[in-house]
């Protein structure tokens, strides 16, 4: 009865929020009883004195973890409603459903204390403004976060212990499959699949480049096996650069068992949100590496030699200076890198003034298409588009064309005679010096045009063409 005394008429005038959450889609599918118990909290809100219209069920976070990495729109809605003073009570099966990290948990407690909002779970009803209730809620939040750490440590410990023996079954690349015994890995029974994998290593010994192997497959018109899911059938598709690179860099094809090649890291993005990313570790930092674990397409020594050869083909290396700067006016050649894939940007020159531009050729190298991953400084397409003029000159030219030349201060010349030599349809030409009108009509004096022609001819010597593409 003491707990029910914490609920006042002011609380019953507000909403009663029932927060429903499961940590992962797997729990949502298997632990259906837990989800049903959380939805039954609506009946408890009715028993505490709220009506059906006052009960709000927030279940947008089903299948999302409360560790603080995922963006929980449902929890954000809950904190917003509490901060606005619209919530009288928050009901949850346990406090771990609300938050698994102290940052979100204590922020919610502070908002509930400011707006006189109470919380309730299966153990009781709590008022964050009361010292004893705040102490109990703080301990429950700390235990909830510690429970997540203990569970994760137990699971990771068991996984690492089994992986250290080479018996942890994980997804294998195409061409390999698990056998009946513990840790047994076999070749794929289809000879066509294994022949395609062996052809990659044979061509790499001959050609010495991942891209040249990929181009050889495409020139010969050969298909490559693709396994999207371990339970799906193998599909034969056009090989991609990434598929060839994955075959040459995967240690499983060399008969080695590897685990822990990546690491999950947390960081803050530009908006201050907690995010998680995957970091690829060097071979010396892998958690488990067992050479000669199973039969492979190549030996471990050949695999190491292939990795050194692939690394030597990369120029420049990471955190090293680029190559010598070639001819041209581009100041960032050999220095600028793509912000999406990290490749060095190539340089292209366009137009009469040989304006430099930068582009990333990842779309051509990796996907075999004519698209570019990134392009900077590309001039506008001349077809169907006007050449850009300074704002004031373009306004004057537009006014002249509209027939209000005097108001704009533009004095058009007299229309030439169509029958005179050099005459024609004739158009308005502005006296503004150095102006290029749309459609390629020049409005500059003839002397300047001749001088510019001589300067352009002087620059158009061998090695400095007006257009072309040069590597970075």
Q: Three-state secondary structure along the chain?
A: CCCHHHCCHHHHCCEEEEEEEECCHHHHHHCHHHHHHHHCHHHHHHHCCCCHHHEEEEEEEECCCCCCCCCCHHHHHHHHHHHCCCEEEEECCCHHHCCCCHHHHHHHHHHHHHCCCEEECCCCEECCCCHHHHHHHHHHHHHHHHHHHHHHHHHHHHHHHHHHCCCCCCCCCCCEEECCCCCCEEECCCHHHHHHHHHHHHHHHHHCCHHHHHHHHHHHCCCEEECCCCCCCCEEECCCHHHHHHHHHCHHHHCCEEECCEEEEEEECCCCCEEEEEEECCHHHCCEEECCCCCCCCCHHHHHHHHHHHHHHCCCCCCCCCCCCCCCCCCCCCCCECCCCCCECEEEEECCCCEEEEEECHHHHCCCCCCCCEEECCCCCCCCCCCCCCHHHHHHHHHHHHCCHHHHCCCCCCCCCCCCCCCCCCCCCCCCCCCEECCCEECCCHHHHHHHHHHHHHHCCCCCCCCEEECC
What band does 256 get if pLDDT is binned at 50, 70 and 90? very high
> 250 pLDDT exceeds 90?
yes
Is the separation of the CB atoms in 215 and 240 below 8 Å?
no
pLDDT score for 423 = 47
In a domain, 165, yes or no: no
In a domain, 398, yes or no: yes
Among 291, 208, 222, 281, smallest CA distance to 253 is for 291
pLDDT score for 395 = 53
> 103 pLDDT exceeds 60?
yes
Say if residue 30 is in the same domain as residue 81: yes
Say if residue 84 is in the same domain as residue 186: no
In a domain, 266, yes or no: no
Is the separation of the CB atoms in 309 and 208 below 8 Å?
yes
Catalytic residues: 23
Q: Give the bridge partners for 235, in sequence order.
A: 226
> 174 pLDDT exceeds 80?
yes
| Number of other CB atoms surrounding residue 313 within 10 Å | 11
Per the structure, how many domains does the chain have? 4
Provide the residue range defining the domain that includes 46. Answer: 4-152
Say if residue 123 is in the same domain as residue 134: yes
Say if residue 436 is in the same domain as residue 401: yes
Say if residue 27 is in the same domain as residue 143: yes
| Number of other CB atoms surrounding residue 370 within 10 Å | 8
The residue that leads in pLDDT, 426 or 284, is 284
| Residues 185-217 pLDDT 10s | 999 999 999 999 999 999 999 998 898 999 999
What band does 338 get if pLDDT is binned at 50, 70 and 90? confident
Among 305, 174, 156, smallest CA distance to 235 is for 174
Where residue 23 sits, what CATH number does that domain have? Answer: 3.40.50.1390
Say if residue 96 is in the same domain as residue 145: yes
pLDDT score for 306 = 93
Mean of per-residue pLDDT scores for the chain: 77
> 334 pLDDT exceeds 90?
no
The residue that leads in pLDDT, 64 or 363, is 64
> 295 pLDDT exceeds 60?
yes
In a domain, 361, yes or no: yes
Say if residue 26 is in the same domain as residue 146: yes
Question: For 272-290, what is the mean pLDDT?
Answer: 87
| Residues 9-26 pLDDT 10s | 999 999 999 999 888 888
Distance, CA of 374 to chain centre: 15
Say if residue 347 is in the same domain as residue 296: no
- Rounded to whole angstroms, the Cα distance separating 328 from 270 reads 36
What is the dihedral angle through the alpha carbons of 51, 52, 55, 59, rounded to the nearest 10 degrees? Answer: 160
The residue that leads in pLDDT, 138 or 342, is 138
- Rounded to whole angstroms, the Cα distance separating 152 from 24 reads 14
Q: Give the bridge partners for 436, in sequence order.
A: 442
Say if residue 304 is in the same domain as residue 320: no
What band does 253 get if pLDDT is binned at 50, 70 and 90? very high
What band does 343 get if pLDDT is binned at 50, 70 and 90? confident
Where residue 221 sits, what CATH number does that domain have? Answer: 3.90.1750.20
> How much of the chain exceeds pLDDT 90, in percent?
32
Distances from the Cα of 160 to the Cα of 150, 154, 227, 281, 289, angstroms: 15, 10, 26, 17, 12
In a domain, 422, yes or no: no
pLDDT score for 142 = 86
Range scoring the smallest mean pLDDT among 122-131, 171-180, 432-441: 432-441
pLDDT score for 349 = 82
């Amino acid at each position: 009865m003491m707990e029910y005394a914490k609920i006042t008429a002011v609380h019953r005038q507000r909403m009663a929020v029932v927060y429903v959450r499961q940590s992962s889609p797997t729990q949502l599918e298997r632990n259906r009883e837990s989800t049903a118990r959380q939805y039954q909290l609506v009946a408890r809100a009715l028993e505490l004195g709220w009506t059906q219209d006052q009960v709000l069920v927030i279940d947008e976070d089903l299948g999302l973890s409360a560790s603080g990495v995922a963006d929980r729109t449902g929890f954000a809605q809950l904190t917003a409603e509490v901060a606005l003073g619209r919530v009288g009570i928050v009901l949850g099966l346990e406090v771990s459903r609300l938050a698994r990290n102290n940052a979100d948990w204590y922020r919610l407690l502070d908002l509930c204390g400011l707006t006189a909002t109470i919380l309730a779970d299966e153990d009781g009803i709590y008022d964050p403004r009361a010292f004893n209730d705040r102490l109990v809620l703080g301990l429950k939040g700390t235990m909830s976060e510690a429970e997540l750490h203990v569970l994760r440590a137990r699971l990771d410990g068991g996984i690492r212990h089994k992986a250290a023996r080479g018996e942890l079954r994980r997804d294998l690349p195409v061409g390999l499959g698990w056998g009946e015994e513990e840790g047994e890995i076999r070749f794929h029974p289809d000879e066509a699949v294994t022949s395609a994998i062996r052809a990659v290593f044979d061509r790499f010994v001959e050609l010495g480049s991942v891209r040249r192997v990929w181009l050889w497959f495409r020139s010969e018109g050969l298909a490559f096996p693709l396994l999207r899911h371990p339970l799906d059938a193998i599909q034969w598709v056009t090989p991609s650069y990434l598929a060839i690179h994955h075959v040459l860099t995967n240690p499983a094809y060399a008969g080695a068992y590897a685990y822990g090649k990546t690491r999950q890291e947390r960081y803050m993005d530009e908006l201050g949100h907690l995010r998680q990313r995957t970091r690829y570790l060097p071979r010396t930092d892998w958690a488990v590496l067992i050479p000669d674990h199973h039969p492979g397409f190549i030996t471990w020594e050949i695999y190491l030699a292939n990795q050194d050869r692939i690394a030597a083909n990369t120029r420049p290396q990471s955190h090293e200076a680029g190559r010598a700067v070639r001819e041209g006016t581009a100041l960032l050649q050999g220095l600028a890198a793509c912000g999406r894939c990290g490749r060095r940007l190539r340089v292209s020159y366009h137009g009469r003034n040989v304006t430099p531009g930068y582009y990333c050729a990842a779309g051509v190298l990796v996907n075999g298409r004519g698209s570019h991953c990134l392009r900077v400084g590309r001039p506008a397409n001349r077809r169907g588009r006007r050449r850009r003029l300074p704002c004031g000159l373009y306004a004057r030219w537009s006014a002249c064309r509209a027939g209000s030349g005097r108001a704009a201060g533009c004095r058009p010349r007299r229309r030439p005679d169509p029958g005179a030599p050099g005459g024609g349809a004739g158009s308005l030409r502005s006296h503004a010096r150095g102006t290029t009108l749309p459609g390629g009509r020049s409005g500059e004096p003839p002397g300047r045009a001749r001088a510019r022609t001589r300067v352009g001819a002087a620059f158009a010597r061998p090695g400095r063409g007006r257009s072309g593409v040069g590597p970075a």
